[in-house]
């Protein structure tokens, strides 16, 4: 039942034509990965300046997230992200403004009107469902949504994202079991960066691959290189098509790494070495994809400069817009907390 996918690194451009990715689509992938990185770096600076209270970095996860977003039918499939998924929601259609408004807790924040913690993504048009804060509980939400979608005879799949730490929670196992029993149209994506906050994987499970757990629930588990955006796209695309076609769920494990601490409020020097982080940075997914495009003649120096200029301008504009936007007023304090009839 278990399968393994491998990154197509080194393949020819013709191989990517088989993935229905044109040269413009490849450039767009690089744009979204670069935008996520630049936005994340700016948010870290804003936190250090004391302008925002809290954030969870996506640096290192860009390939896993943008590659997965490419496999989603935007506005049709249901997406249940977790808090580290900045690159995912950007690639799905949320804007840097949307994200900065949430970070600054402004009234115009489209996710919660500035009333939720940042990185609790939500968009009705994009069918992005806000998760609750307790780890792994949103996995059950995704399974329930997939069940409801089937009852409504919709031709859609649900896809949910989580870290390796979430797979040690009971909600993960309950969700996968129900999905397996009912063969639901849902894809589970574990962005395995090796640490459940500060706990290394070897201390939270006795297996090498999280994907092995899928076999216990009767459906495939797939391991993919989470630092290779095209490998992730190919793997998640197959899983989503299988789900929409009635083939049931898939657990995708994207092996990745986070370059920064778990959140803005912890110090990773207490649980991992600088040498380990430096080693993973040599596989920076944004830089590796840029180098690949250049090697294949799909990214000129001029085009790369245009992408960098566009990204910098959009991040600057988003920050300025959010800082100038008003805070929520006290009369909205209880909105969306109780039924309003």
List residues with catalytic annotation.
258, 262, 271
**Residue 197, helix vs strand vs coil:** coil
Rounded Cα–Cα distance for residues 71 and 155 (Å): 15
- Angstrom CA distances, 190 to 194, 198, 248, stand at 11, 17, 17
Task: Order the strands of the 158-163 sheet from edge to edge.
Answer: 3-4, 221-225, 250-255, 186-192, 158-163, 78-80
Angle of helix 170-182 versus helix 137-151 axis, rounded to 10: 20
The DSSP symbol for 234 reads H
Upper half-sphere CA count for residue 188 (Cβ side, 13 Å): 41
Number of neighbouring beta carbons within 10 Å of residue 200: 12
Please classify residue 19 by burial: count the beta carbons closer than 10 Å to its beta carbon, then call 0-12 exposed, 13-18 middle and 19+ buried: middle
Length of the chain: 341
Rounded Cα–Cα distance for residues 199 and 165 (Å): 8
Closest CA to 252 of 314, 121, 164, 316: 164
**What tokens were used for 173?**
């196992």
Torsion angles phi and psi, residue 304, rounded to 5: -65, -40
Number of neighbouring beta carbons within 10 Å of residue 207: 11
Rounded Cα–Cα distance for residues 167 and 82 (Å): 13
Number of neighbouring beta carbons within 10 Å of residue 233: 24
Closest CA to 313 of 39, 47, 89, 37: 39
**What tokens were used for 167?**
């797979």
């Amino acid at each position: 039942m278990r399968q393994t996918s491998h990154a197509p690194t080194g393949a020819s451009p013709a191989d990517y034509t088989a993935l229905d990715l044109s040269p413009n689509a490849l450039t767009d992938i690089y744009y979204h990965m670069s935008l996520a990185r630049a936005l994340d770096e700016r948010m870290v600076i804003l936190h250090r300046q004391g302008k925002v209270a809290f954030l969870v970095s996506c640096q290192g996860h860009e390939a896993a997230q943008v590659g997965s977003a490419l496999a989603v039918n935007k506005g049709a499939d249901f997406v249940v992200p977790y808090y580290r998924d900045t690159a995912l929601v950007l690639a799905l259609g949320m804007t840097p403004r949307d994200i900065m408004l949430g970070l600054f807790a402004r009234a115009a924040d489209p996710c919660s009107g500035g009333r939720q913690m940042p990185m609790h993504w939500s968009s009705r048009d994009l069918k992005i469902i806000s998760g609750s804060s307790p780890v792994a509980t949103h996995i059950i939400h995704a399974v329930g949504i997939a069940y409801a979608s089937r009852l409504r005879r919709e031709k859609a799949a649900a896809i949910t994202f989580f870290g390796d730490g979430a797979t040690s929670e009971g909600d993960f196992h309950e969700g996968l079991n129900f999905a397996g029993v009912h063969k639901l149209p849902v894809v589970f994506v574990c962005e395995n960066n090796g640490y459940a906050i500060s706990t290394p994987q070897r201390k939270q499970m006795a297996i090498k691959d999280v994907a092995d757990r899928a076999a216990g629930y009767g459906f495939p588990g797939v391991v993919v290189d989470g630092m290779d955006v095209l490998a992730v796209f190919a793997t998640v695309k197959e899983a989503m098509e299988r789900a929409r076609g009635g083939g049931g769920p898939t657990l995708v494990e994207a092996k990745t790494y986070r370059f920064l601490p778990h959140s803005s409020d912890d110090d990773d020097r207490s649980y991992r070495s600088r040498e380990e982080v430096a080693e993973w940075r040599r596989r920076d997914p944004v830089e590796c994809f840029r180098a690949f495009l250049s090697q294949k003649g799909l990214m000129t120096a001029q085009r790369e400069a245009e992408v960098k200029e566009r990204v910098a301008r959009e991040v600057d504009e988003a920050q300025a817009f959010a800082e100038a936007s008003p805070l929520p007023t006290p009369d909205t304090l209880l909105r969306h907390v109780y039924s309003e009839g």
